[in-house]
């Protein structure tokens, strides 16, 4: 696939996100459902598609570590080391988020953020200029899809734009590790 094709796919994805739509896209981990993480209406639509009505919040993807302060109230110093030293996709859960759609936050206002390692997602988020939700492309309670073929048809037909699966060259087929960071440099491993 050439750069012009990739640019067109990114443009289509960005246009969908800007209009409040939902995209189905490959991440650095698994195929995900995404929307503008600052748009509550889009997040509500995404929750309906997944049949999810709980308050666990969502992971959001950013393109660069430098974007994190825009969405986190207090960043423990160790967060920067964890991001830099991690050799696999890592989601960090911070105590309090800001500037995002209310349903993106977990209970007590926590926010889960991953700096994407996917070249495609990096370009997409950079071009979009805002973080995007990254949640597994499944119905709530069902197993996450390890590849595009495992995504339920109900999900594929329920989104506004499907990124062509030829773009998927970086997904690991496994969810990211998740570490919660607390005050005083406390760490809690949620998922290895």
List the pLDDT tens digit at each of the 192 positions of the chain: 788 898 999 999 999 999 999 999 999 999 999 999 999 999 999 999 999 987 789 999 999 999 999 999 999 999 999 999 998 999 999 999 999 999 999 989 999 999 999 999 999 999 999 999 999 999 998 999 988 999 999 999 999 999 998 887 778 888 899 999 987 778 888 888
Q: Tell which residue, 57, 123, 70, 65, has the closest CA to residue 90.
A: 65
Provide the phi-psi class of 32: left if phi over 0, else alpha when psi is between -120 and 50, else beta: beta
Say how far apart CA 90 and CA 101 lie, in whole Å: 22
CATH number for the domain harbouring residue 37: 3.90.870.10
The two three-digit tokens of residue 86, written as one number = 């991690």
Place of tokens 């997944």: 50
Q: Is 168 helix (H, G, I), strand (E, B) or coil?
A: coil
Q: Tell which residue, 49, 21, 58, has the closest CA to residue 142.
A: 49
| Domain range for 184 | 3-191
Say how many domains are in the chain.
1
DSSP 12: H
What is the spatial order of strands in the sheet that 161-162 belongs to? 161-162, 23-26, 31-34, 132-136, 59-62, 111-115, 90-94, 177-182, 186-191
Residue 3 has what pLDDT? 83
Q: Is 191 helix (H, G, I), strand (E, B) or coil?
A: strand
Place of tokens 């969908």: 16
Residue 185 has what pLDDT? 74
């Amino acid at each position: 696939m050439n750069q012009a094709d990739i640019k067109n796919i990114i443009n289509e994805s960005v246009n969908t996100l800007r209009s409040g739509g939902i995209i189905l896209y490959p991440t650095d981990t698994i195929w995900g459902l995404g929307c503008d993480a600052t748009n509550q209406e889009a997040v509500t639509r995404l929750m309906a598609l997944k049949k999810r009505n709980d308050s666990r919040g969502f992971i959001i993807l950013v393109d660069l570590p430098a974007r994190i302060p825009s969405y986190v109230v207090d960043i423990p110093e160790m967060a920067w080391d964890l991001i830099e030293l991690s050799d696999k996709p890592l989601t960090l859960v911070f105590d309090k988020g800001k500037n995002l759609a209310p349903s993106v936050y977990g209970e007590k206002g926590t926010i889960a953020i991953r700096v994407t390692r996917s070249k495609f997602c990096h370009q997409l988020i950079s071009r979009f200029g805002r973080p995007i939700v990254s949640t597994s492309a499944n119905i709530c309670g069902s197993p996450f899809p390890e590849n595009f073929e495992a995504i339920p048809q109900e999900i594929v037909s329920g989104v506004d734009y499907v990124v062509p699966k030829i773009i998927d060259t970086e997904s690991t087929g496994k969810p990211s590790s998740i570490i919660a960071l607390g005050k005083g440099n406390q760490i809690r491993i949620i998922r290895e």
